Amino acid sequence: MVADPDTPLRADARRNRDQIIAAAKQVFLDQGPDVPMEVIARRAGVGVGTLYRRFPDRESLILAVSRRNFEEVVTEARAAAAEEPTAWAAIVRLLQRSRGLKLSVQLAVLSPLARAILRDDETTQEFRAEIMLILDELVRGAQAEGSMRRDVGAGDVAVLCSLLLMDLPLEDLSDLVLDRALAVMIDGLRATSQSPLPGRPITGEDLRIR
């Protein structure tokens, strides 16, 4: 018998659930989205049975991990928008922090399965929309401030963000290397940049997972 989804879980059950999501996140990052369920269960310190009680199949686990991750992106974006003195600073901060959000993007990018799941999940789409909304506002702000070139849209920034999430197999150097790539991108985004970009600004809507 499965609990009514609306009934809040008992405290220990919730803790259990959280452990599993955290473990799955770790393991997905380490070994990709194809790890055996048993490995995830072990990492969470539970049996497979328990895992399956919480998440009836792999799909729903991926979904849970991903939603949580998106939630964090939203939080981060809100904080950046609220706390930074200028929109440009908020964008730079978002680009810098995005590496911590790696997982969701990786899941969407690497695993056709995960992609399909996320595409069809309304909650995820709402998170995405929310993020793009914030970003859009920031981009306009930064352009108004005169710090950001006018031929980019929120979508362009989101794409650069996503690119930085690629998992380069460089071990120690990975952070430095990506920091530098980011710095190049930021310079390229500045209002002083010269060559016009091809096409038209990319919007958040353009990036809806398909």
Partner DNA sequence: TATGAATGAGTCTTCATTCAT
Partner DNA sequence: AATGAATGAAGACTCATTCAT
> Reduced to 3 states, what is the DSSP secondary structure of residue 190?
strand
29 contact choice in a copy of itself, DNA, none (CB below 5 to 8 Å, kind-dependent): none
Rounded Cα–Cα distance for residues 99 and 74 (Å) = 14
Identify any residues that bridge with 190 across adjacent strands, giving them in sequence order.
148
- Return the ∠ at Cα 207 (arms to 94 and 196), rounded to 5°: 75
Residue 9 binds which entry of a copy of itself, DNA, none, with Cβ cut-offs from 5 to 8 Å by kind?
DNA
Which partner, DNA, a copy of itself, none, binds residue 50 by CB below 5 to 8 Å per kind?
A: DNA
What mask, x for binding DNA by CB under 7 A, covers residues 135 to 174? Answer: ----------------------------------------
Interhelix angle 58-83/37-44, nearest 10 degrees: 60
Distance of CA 69 to the CA centre of its chain: 6
Q: What residue ranges bind a copy of itself (CB under 8 A)? A: 1, 31-32, 34, 36, 38-39, 42, 108-112, 115, 152, 155-156, 159-160, 162-164, 166-171, 173, 176-181, 183-190, 192-195, 197-199, 202, 206-207, 209-210
